[in-house]
Every structure is written in C-alpha cells, then in structure tokens.
C-alpha cells in the first residue's frame, strides 16, 4: 500500500521563495505533522512525504498511491484543494487533516473524501485500516490526543537540505489570546510528553539545528517550569550535540537557573510574542501574561541574551489602539528592547479564534471570498478592516516598520553587538539579511495584493 503525505505550498509565503532569496533556504521548516503521522503508520504502508515548500513534484510522473493525506494551515487551503482534486480525478482517496480542516470542516468536506479533525494520534491507525478496506468514513475526530506515549516522528523520511529538524515536547495553552488558534485546537490543558521519549526522539534527528515547535516550551505554572528544567538537564546529560530554537513567553527571562540549563541543553534562540508595547493593547489581545507590573523588557531580553540565546520578537500591527506611526514605533520599541530579530505581522482573524468571531460580528473581515482568499491569511496581508488604519495605510506602516528595523546601519549594529558579546553573530547576520531581503519580496507581494483586491473586493 502506497501513502503520500503532502504539505501544500502557498507561493505567497515569502520564506518559500528560495529562488528569489537564497537566505530563505535557512527558514524552510519541516512539516512535523506529516512526520508524526508517518511515525504512527504501520510498516505495510510505503510512505512518501512531499513538502511542496521545496518545490512541487511532477505528480503525474509519480507512481499512483493508494491513499493521499494532506495537511494544511488556513493559508495553504487553496493549494491543498488543488492537490486533492488532482488525486481524486485519478480515483485516489484523499484525506485531509490539521488546523484548517478542523476549523472549516464543512468547506474542506467539499474538496476531499475524508476529514480528520483535531489531533490525529488516537484515530490515524483506524483511518488507515478503513482506507485499506475501501471503507473510509467522511469524518473522523481525534479530539485531544493522549501524548503520554506516542511513537517518534519519522525524521528519516524527508529529503536532506533543511537547515532545521523539528520536534514537539508539549501541547496546549491556557492563555487563549484572541488572535491565536492554539487553545481552540490543542486545548487549554498543557500536556507534556515524557522526557525520555523526547530525548530519544532528539537523537533520531539528523540535523544539528532543531526547531522545538511547542507554543510555549516553559508553560505557565511553576510545575511546568520545573519540568522544562528536568527536560533541559536530561538533554544536557544525553549530550545530544544539538543547537535548538524554541518559543516561550517573556517569563523565560525570570529564572536564571532555567536560562542556564536551557543554554547548556543547546538553546540558541527563542521567539517571544511581545505583540504590542501598550498595556491597553495587551488587554485588547487578551495577552494578560505580558502585563507583569513593572517588567523591564529590555532587561529581560538582555538576561536571556547573556546566556548566548538570541531573541526574536514578534509584534502585531492593526490593533484598535494602533494609529498612524505605529509601524515605526514598533521598530523603535523592538530596537529599544534589544531583540535580534523582529517579526511584525498584521492582526488577522483566523477561523476558530475569538478574534474571528468578534470581527465577523462587526463585519470587519474584508477579504471573505473563501476559499480563494485563504491564501492571504498568512498574517502578512491586511485581510481585515482596522479601526484607525486604512488598508493602504496599514501596509505603509508595515513597510516603515520593517525598513526601520532592518536598515543596514541597524543590522550592522546588532551583528557587531553580537560579535562583541560572542553571541552567534553569523546566525544573527543570516536572520537579519533574510528578513531584509524579504522586504523587497514583500513590497512586490503588496503591489500584487493591492491590484487583486482593487479588482475583486
Ligand atoms: C511550527 C509552526 C510553523 C512552522 C511551519 C512548519 C511546517 N511546515 O509545518 C512555520 C514557522 C513555517 C509556520 C508558519 C506559519 N504559521 Co505556524 N505554527 C507552527 C506551530 C507552532 C506548530 C505546528 C506543528 O508542527 N505542530 C506539531 C504537529 C504534530 O501538530 P499539528 O500540525 O497540529 O498536526 C497534528 C494534527 O493537526 C493532525 N494533522 C495535521 N495535518 C494532518 C493531515 C492529515 C492527513 C491528518 C489525518 C491529520 C493531520 O495530526 C497531527 C498529529 O496530531 C503551530 C501551533 C500549533 N500548536 O500547532 C503554528 C500555527 C499552525 N501556525 C499558524 C500560522 C498562522 C502560520 C502562518 C500562516 C503565519 C506565521 N507567520 O506564523 C505561517 C504560514 C506557513 C505556510 N506555509 O503557509 C497558525 C495556524 C492557524 C490557521 N488557522 O492556519 C498556528 C496554529 C499558530 C497560531 N498562533 O494560531 N508555522
Ligand atoms: S499566542 Fe501564545 S500564549 Fe497566546 S494563546 Fe497562543 S500559544 Fe498561548
């Protein structure tokens, strides 16, 4: 039995434009969901994982599979349907799962034979058995999976050529920020994989560099932080020789022992969602966790960096409190905090989030011709109506934000600072140049977006 697991590509996502910017090669990430599914697939299936982010293959030239599994974030949904149509025309059953299939079940059911909602661990073997007997059901629901003991993901299946491997150690987030899908999809309970399983799986990863995909590696409670410390100790003891990056809240900075253990275990970078510098903005986003009274963000960032861990900060443009000038202000705030990279994104109502419900009820979703418009839900296009910023205005704010933060003098200052403090200046340089290069690509994408939107909306 032959199984294709496919990660469809959205050409509007800048990091997949490897040809236009060679720096992006370092930022194409492995589709872990498909590697996890492959890990749970019995050996009677011959599995190929196709990651279209490395280039779509010539499907007609490939041997006919018995089953196709497609994953998709919302921004990949259009391409997922194209791929599904191709295989269904050949009479090959197509099953789709992942976040978009879960949040937009009815839409997805129109384009595929079968949909798996929720996490797949508890249901995937059943789906495969049904497919083998030609009795696929239209719908399966995996709900929230028991991740206490799951087989390791298949790290051996994808082609080489990725800069980073990928692994997940926890799921779920209690914070439920209004713009984020994680609590709706993975639940509010923070679930942890057993530390020995994680360490064993790390050993299976071929790449030296690894992305830990957890939404918040250290969790929100003292017992979760204690678990993170135990994990880091075990990783250091196992002498994995890996260098990894992860996502965490700014609270990562509050515990020197945690930082020291993380660095010893190989942590070299952390993504932190600052989102906005204004307390009322944090309240608007429901991200009360960042509201710690008297927190000095610059000092927090410095504390992390002192352990030779780079900090990438994420900010959102388009809040109700945001007014003209916000783009430059964010760039200056991020520079003041001292982050090594800035990732600014448009506030985007993703299906299934509280923001979606709110904006829909206020008739503020500007791009709503679905499924076609999903391709713009990359957080890099303004798909909503923003309170104090026109569509054109908010694009200008984003350009001004990126141009300010990624101006050559500022990049050089950051890289020289890292060289001086012996903090991975090369990674800092590659990261900064990759973002800077994408400014050009983004401006072109905005021009196309403007003309499409003017013509159609
Ligand atoms: C790692 C990651 C990335 C990586 C992508 C790596 C990759 N190619 O997969 C990078 C950094 C590139 C990325 C980019 C983006 N991401 Co992202 N990302 C994540 C993150 C943190 C983890 C995903 C992951 O690997 N999880 C681990 C795997 C095991 O879980 P899973 O993917 O959910 O898969 C399980 C089930 O969903 C199911 N399943 C999944 N696929 C399939 C397929 C079949 C056939 C079946 C049966 C089951 C199934 O089975 C799996 C096992 O249970 C999630 C948050 C999260 N917690 O999921 C956000 C998340 C998926 N990203 C999100 C977004 C918005 C984006 C971007 C659009 C914007 C951005 N700038 O971040 C881009 C778009 C990329 C694109 N190509 O279009 C949103 C998606 C919401 C939505 N409705 O689409 C999420 C949920 C975060 C959030 N805050 O809401 N992301
Ligand atoms: S943005 Fe981060 S903290 Fe907020 S709900 Fe999502 S994963 Fe949790």
Q: Model confidence over 98-155: pLDDT tens digits?
A: 999 999 999 999 999 999 999 999 999 999 999 999 999 999 999 999 999 889 999 9
Separation between Cα atoms, residue 376 and residue 237, nearest integer Å? 44
pTM: 0.96
Which numbered atom of ligand 2 lies nearest the CA of 176? 5
Between the alpha carbon of residue 105 and those of residues 4, 85, 97, 187, the distances in Å are 22, 17, 9, 18
Both tokens of 131, joined, read: 């497919």
Which H or E run contains 212?
Answer: strand 209-212
> Which atom of ligand 1 is the closest one to the Cα of 168?
27
Rounded CA gap, 408 and 406, in Å?
A: 6
The answer to whether the beta carbons of residues 22 and 434 sit under 8 Å apart is no
- pLDDT (0 to 100) of residue 433: 84
Q: How many CB atoms lie within 10 A of CB 285?
A: 21
For the chain, residues with pLDDT lower than 70 are 14-27, 289-293, 455-457
Give Cα separations from 164 to 29, 310, 343 (angstroms). 7, 16, 19
Per residue in 292-327, pLDDT (tens digit) is: 667 899 999 999 999 999 999 999 999 999 999 999
Q: Is the CB of 173 under 6 A from ligand 2?
A: yes
Q: Are 315 and 346 in contact (CB under 8 A)?
A: no
- C-alpha to C-alpha distance for 239 and 40, rounded to whole angstroms: 27
Tell me whether residue 364 is exposed, middle or buried, using C-beta atoms within 10 angstroms of its C-beta: 0 to 12, 13 to 18, 19 or more.
Answer: middle
Instruction: Please tell me the predicted confidence (pLDDT) of residue 24.
Output: 56
Here the tokens at position 21 are 């910017």
Q: Which ligand is nearest to the CA of 185?
A: 1
Tokens of 99: 């976040």
Residue 286 contacts residue 334 (beta carbons within 8 Å): no
Q: Are 70 and 83 in contact (CB under 8 A)?
A: yes
Answer yes or no: is the C-beta of 123 below 6 A from any ligand 1 atom: no
Work out the burial of residue 25: count CB atoms within 10 Å of its CB; fewer than 13 is exposed, 13-18 middle, 19 or more buried. middle
User: H-helix or E-strand containing 433?
Assistant: helix 425-456
230: enclosing H helix or E strand: helix 222-237
Ligand 1 atom closest to the Cα of residue 32 is: 25
CB of 457 closer than 8 Å to CB of 366: yes
Nearest-CA residue for ligand 2 atom 4 is 177
* Candidate of 143, 213, 246 to mutate for ligand 1, largest count of ligand atoms within 8 Å of Cβ: 213
Q: Distance between CA 357 and CA 73 in Å, rounded?
A: 19
Q: What are phi and psi of 258, to 5 degrees?
A: -60, -45
Beta strands 170-171 and 191-192, pairing class = antiparallel
Which H or E run contains 207?
none
Tell me how crowded residue 85 is: count the other CB atoms within 10 A of its CB. 12
Among 181, 349, 381, name the best residue to mutate to test ligand 1's pocket (greatest count of ligand atoms within 8 A of Cβ).
181
Residue with CA nearest ligand 2 atom 5: 176
Which atom of ligand 2 approaches the CA of 275 most closely? Answer: 1
pLDDT of amino acid 424? 73
Closest residue CA from atom 2 of ligand 2? 215
Alpha carbon distance 69, 5 (integer Å): 5
Nearest CA to 211 among 76, 31, 8? Answer: 31
Q: What angle do CA 197, 198, 204 make, to 5 degrees?
A: 95
Q: Residue by residue, what is the 3-state secondary structure of 119-166?
A: CCCCCHHHHHHHHHCCCCCCEEECCCCCCCCCCCCCCCCCCCCCCEEE
């Amino acid at each position: 039995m032959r199984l294709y697991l496919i990660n469809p590509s959205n050409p509007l996502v800048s990091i997949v434009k490897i040809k236009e910017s060679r720096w992006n090669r370092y930022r194409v990430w492995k589709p872990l969901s498909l590697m996890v599914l492959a890990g749970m697939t019995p050996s009677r299936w011959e599995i190929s994982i196709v990651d279209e982010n490395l280039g779509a293959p010539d499907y007609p030239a490939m041997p006919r599979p018995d089953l196709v599994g497609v994953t998709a974030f919302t921004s990949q949904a259009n391409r997922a349907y194209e791929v599904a149509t191709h295989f269904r025309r050949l009479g090959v059953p197509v099953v789709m799962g992942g976040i978009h299939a879960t949040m937009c079940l009815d839409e997805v059911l129109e384009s595929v034979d079968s949909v798996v909602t929720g996490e797949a661990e508890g249901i995937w073997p059943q789906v495969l058995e049904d497919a083998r007997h030609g009795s696929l059901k239209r719908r399966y629901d995996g709900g929230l999976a028991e991740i206490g003991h799951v087989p390791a993901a298949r790290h051996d299946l994808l082609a080489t050529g990725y800069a980073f491997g990928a692994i997940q150690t926890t799921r779920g987030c209690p914070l439920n920020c209004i713009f984020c899908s994680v609590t709706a999809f993975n639940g509010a309970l923070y679930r942890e994989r057993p530390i020995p399983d994680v360490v064993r799986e790390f050993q299976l990863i071929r790449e030296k560099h690894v992305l830990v995909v957890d939404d918040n590696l250290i969790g929100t409670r003292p017992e979760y932080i204690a678990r993170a410390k135990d994990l880091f100790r075990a990783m250091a003891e196992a002498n994995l020789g890996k260098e990894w990056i992860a996502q965490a809240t700014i609270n990562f900075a509050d515990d020197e022992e945690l930082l020291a253990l993380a660095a010893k275990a190989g942590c070299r970078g952390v993504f932190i969602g600052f989102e906005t510098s204004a307390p009322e903005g944090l309240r608007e986003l429901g991200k009360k966790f960042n509201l710690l009274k008297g927190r000095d963000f610059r000092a927090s960032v410095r504390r992390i960096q002192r352990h030779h861990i780079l900090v990438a900060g994420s900010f959102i443009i388009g809040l109700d409190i945001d007014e003209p000038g916000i783009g430059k202000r964010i760039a200056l705030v991020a520079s003041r905090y001292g982050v090594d990279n800035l990732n600014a994104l448009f506030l985007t109502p993703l299906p299934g989030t509280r923001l979606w419900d709110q904006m829909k009820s206020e008739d503020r979703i500007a791009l709503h011709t679905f499924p076609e418009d999903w391709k713009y839900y990359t957080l890099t296009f303004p798909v909503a109506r923003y309170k104090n910023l026109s569509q054109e205005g908010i694009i200008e704010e984003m350009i001004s934000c990126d141009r300010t933060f990624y101006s050559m003098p500022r990049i050089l200052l950051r890289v020289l600072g890292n060289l001086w403090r012996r903090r991975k200046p090369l990674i800092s340089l590659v990261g900064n140049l990759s973002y800077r290069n994408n400014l050009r690509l983004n401006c072109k994408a905005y021009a196309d977006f403007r003309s499409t939107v003017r013509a159609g909306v």
